[in-house]
Amino acid sequence: MCRTRYIPKENVTFYQNHTVSFLLPLGAIFEPSKSVGAEEDVVTSLNLAVAGVYNSPTPHWMANILIETSNSSLFQKRTVRELLWGYRDPMLKAQLGVFYPYNGTYDGPYSVFTGKDDINKVSTIDSWNRQQSLSYWNNTYCDMINGTDGSSFSPFLDKKTPLYFFSSEICRSVSAEFEANLDLMGITVYRYMLPPQTFASPVDNPDNRCYCTDKETTRNCTIAGVLDIKPCKGASVFISLPHFLHGSKELLELVHGLNPDPEEHSTYLDVEPVKVHARTLNRAGDSQLHTLLRFAKRLQLNMMYGPSKDIKILNKVKENTIFPILWLNETAALDDVTADMIKAELFSRINTLETVQIALISAGAVILVLCLIGVCVVNRQRRTSFVA
């Protein structure tokens, strides 16, 4: 399965207050050549409808009637196609799917600063969905929209300063911290990674307290590694890093087969620290890769179920379980043509700077020599006049 996100911005409009607005089209396709299996492969997964109704306001006795009359179970077998793109659920009599609906939808509109009046504000979000702050978390701090949309950042990055960006998929702003200098196709890039405290519990990261909205599931906000996005999406979905990377031990103990690996499951951004002029990338057909040259966005979608006296199939469940549905690995990197264009511009700038530097040094040396000659001539004339 290859999840492809099409990022050419649409409805791009520039305004006199040095902002530009746009929509991000969303889309995904199945690419057989990049998949280890076929869309018709059958997998066993948590029943989305059962997990959904368990966490809904519907009384559990009523949910039990729906479950039994539709002959639904806690786990179900579905094809990959059904699980991803949607299937008609017999209990809810509605279409369900991880990416339903997704294709043909949009993220935004975004309004970002162009940087024309202040280069340090370039790409910084002014508003998203026509709002300058969120309304999901009932807290000024957690509802802040910080940084950019993650596709570009202001130039001349400081390794000591985190990169801030907003992700509508997880309904919050996050930061990435400098990790290392890397070489990407002959271009020096800074690697930034999401720190472990991104999804840490409020016990370890008090800034995350306002993201804890379900104290029962998170054991009074002590569970680390998951974010409940129900206030944003309406469905009881928990976001985490794949295999509950940096998550609490309890999460790993309740589900077998998990093996968190920072190398395979971390989210990172490789950013070219000196802003490349947009025209260079325009020639490559994509003006959105101003500084972000490679990235990997890795997220896991989870749903929760737990014990219930009124739902028969949950009678023997002993504790709340956050169960993985799937995890996503969305990656992108520049191609050879674009890399050559970037290197040509960067090297051109470096050569220009070196030429200017040499010219200034040479001019300074000439001026210094002329000044010394002038001083010597004046002193000699003074000595001659004194002798006379």
Once rounded to an integer, what is the mean pLDDT over residues 16-28?
92
For the ranges 55-59, 125-129, 286-290, 337-341, the one whose mean pLDDT is highest: 125-129
Beta bridge partners of 24: 107
Per-residue pLDDT reduced to its tens digit, 353-363:
556 566 567 66
Rg, C-alpha atoms of the chain: 28
pLDDT at 138 (0 to 100): 92
Domain boundaries, the chain: 175-334, 346-387
Burial 102-135, CB ≥16 within 10 A → b, else e: beeeebbbbbbbbbeeeeebbbbbbbbeeeeebe
Per-residue pLDDT reduced to its tens digit, 89-119:
999 999 999 988 888 899 999 999 998 898 8
Report the C-alpha gap between 201 and 192 in whole angstroms.
Answer: 22
Q: What is the mean pLDDT of the chain?
A: 86
Q: Do 111 and 125 touch, CB atoms closer than 8 A?
A: yes
Cis before 101 (ω within 30): yes
Q: Where are the beta strands (DSSP E) in the chain?
A: 10-14, 19-26, 42-46, 75-79, 87-89, 94-96, 105-113, 125-128, 163-167, 172-184, 187-193, 226-228, 237-240, 268-271, 292-305, 321-333
Closest to 121 measured CA to CA, from 42, 17, 48, 30: 17
Report the C-alpha gap between 31 and 42 in whole angstroms.
Answer: 17
Q: Do 211 and 232 touch, CB atoms closer than 8 A?
A: no
Residue 239 has pLDDT above 90, yes or no: yes
Residue 373 has pLDDT above 80, yes or no: no
Burial status of residue 257 (CB atoms within 10 A of its CB: 0-12, 13-18, 19 or more): exposed
Burial 267-279, CB ≥16 within 10 A → b, else e: bbbbbbbebbeee
286 confidence band (pLDDT: 50, 70, 90):
very low
Higher-scoring residue by pLDDT: 381, 255: 255
The pLDDT > 90 percentage for the chain reads 62
**Non-local CB neighbours of 353 within 8 Å, separated by 6+ positions:** none
pLDDT at 224 (0 to 100): 96
Residue found by looking up tokens 């975004």 in the block? 110
Residue type, 221: C
Beta bridge partners of 113: 19
For the ranges 92-106, 276-290, 329-343, the one whose mean pLDDT is highest: 92-106
State residue 368 phi and psi, 5-degree precision. Answer: -60, -45
Higher-scoring residue by pLDDT: 111, 6: 111
